[in-house]
A and B are shown apart, each in its own frame.
Chain A
Amino acid sequence: MAAADRPTETRGRFEAIYAEHVTPIHRFIYARVGNRPDAEDLTGQVFMRAVEQLDVHRPPAQVTAWLYRVAQNAVADYWRAFYRLPRIGLEQVAVAWEPMALEPPPHAEVEAQKAAAAVRRLLKTLPEQYARVLELRFLHRLSVAETAERLGISHGNAKVLQYRALRRAAVLAELDG
């Protein structure tokens, strides 16, 4: 290819990579931070970093793996910085081309199904009242007041129940994960 065509071609490839990946990367991050403002910030970080560092002439599988790796690191940093959680596992791996991703990048639909299944499993494992409060709050999106009414308990008790349920669930998720 003529040298002069190269940059335009690079720009075009980058556009295509962005168009293909912005939705799955946003989904990937949203599933881990649970709110759009933070998901947008982190998605922005991933692609702004890609502008600087991504070599778009790599094979597509490597480009995809690179983006997910950066997204995973961004999420890990988010939790670490905000809550001083230790980083674990794959998240410790620096972003580099080599070695290649150890596992195929998660497919968005598969991810969503896995997440839904994990939630169902979690709710089944929890004591009934705990499962109920989480279901009403997170799946039915009821307020604390509505949840309290539904369960026939006080507002304060509903908060405490939610608190205990989340703490217990976090322990179970840890064991599960």
Chain B
Amino acid sequence: MADERSGELARYVDALLEGRRPAPGDVGSDEAPAARLASELAAAGDPSRADPDPAFVEQLRRRMQDADQGLADVGSALPPTRRVRLTRRDLLRVGLGAAAGLAAGAAGISLLRPANRVPLVDPGRALVRDGEWVQVATLADLPERAAVRFRTVAFDGYVVNDRGVIRALSSVCTHMGCTLEYRPEWWDLRCPCHGASFNLMGELANGRDGWSEGSGYAGDSAAYPIQLPPLVRPEVKVDGDRVLVWTVSA
């Protein structure tokens, strides 16, 4: 009994000490006070991680700007509870010119994009000589910031709409081969195994060599001490409404 529980708590503590997110399922609610104490001890024992990762700070700043972008305060003299909130769609409905003026005047919104512009394509490169175009999604599946996971005979990947640019990327982490998860709010592909975070260009964003402004990731560079090769980007094209990837024939 004690053996089993001590094993569960040990897994939890291992995660903490390795800088990973602990799984609450590892401990029963009886063990919660011990888990909480372990968390506080882990923090006290490693103050070097108390300061936020600069890349995280930058990324959160971008998230906040994104959130703010769709909001306009009409009459900022009103108390906060009486502010009127307009979504970007509302602004577009009102009329782009008027809305842009209103928005720029009201909230300093810097970017207003037409909602349905034709996306650009970042073609990537052909990975195989003898292949074929395989449809993996439609444009309707891919509004801005959306991603579609696809699987062909020889290739697992995502097609993403990265701020109006369609791109295909491998969904396989270049560390140990785990399947990456797309996190739209962070603009990244995150590895559930060890926390590697790839930006939508396929570059490791939280590796040893640190981060670059605008790379877009959430992560802990200190917890990801090695460098990884970028994700492979297969050739992709848009034909009418179809999004196709060049891959090995079935």
Q: A interface vs B, CB < 8 Å?
A: 3-4, 6-8, 10-11, 14-15, 18, 22-23, 26-27, 30-40, 43-44, 47-48, 50-53, 55, 79, 82-85, 108, 112, 115-116, 118-119, 134, 137-139, 141, 143-144, 156, 159-160, 162-164, 166-167, 169-171, 173-174
Contact = CB atoms under 8 A, between A and B. Distances in A.
A83 B47 contact: no
Contacts of B7: 159
A18 B58 CA distance: 11
A55 B57 CA distance: 21
Nearest to B195: A37
B47 A112 contact: yes
B67 A7 contact: no
Interface residues of B, number: 64
A79 B108 contact: no
Contacts of A34: 16, 38-43
> What does DSSP make chain B's interface, helix, strand, loop or mixed?
helix
Interface stretch (B29-37, B136-144, B229-237, B241-249): B29-37
Interface string B1-28: 0110111011001111101111010010
Contacts of B16: 34-35
A166 B6 CA distance: 10
> What does DSSP make chain A's interface, helix, strand, loop or mixed?
helix
Contacts of B122: none
Nearest to A22: B57
27 contacts: A7-B76, A7-B107, A14-B64, A18-B61, A22-B52, A26-B51, A31-B44, A35-B20, A35-B22, A37-B20, A47-B60, A51-B67, A79-B32, A83-B32, A83-B35, A112-B44, A118-B44, A119-B45, A138-B44, A141-B17, A141-B45, A159-B10, A160-B2, A162-B10, A166-B9, A166-B13, A166-B35
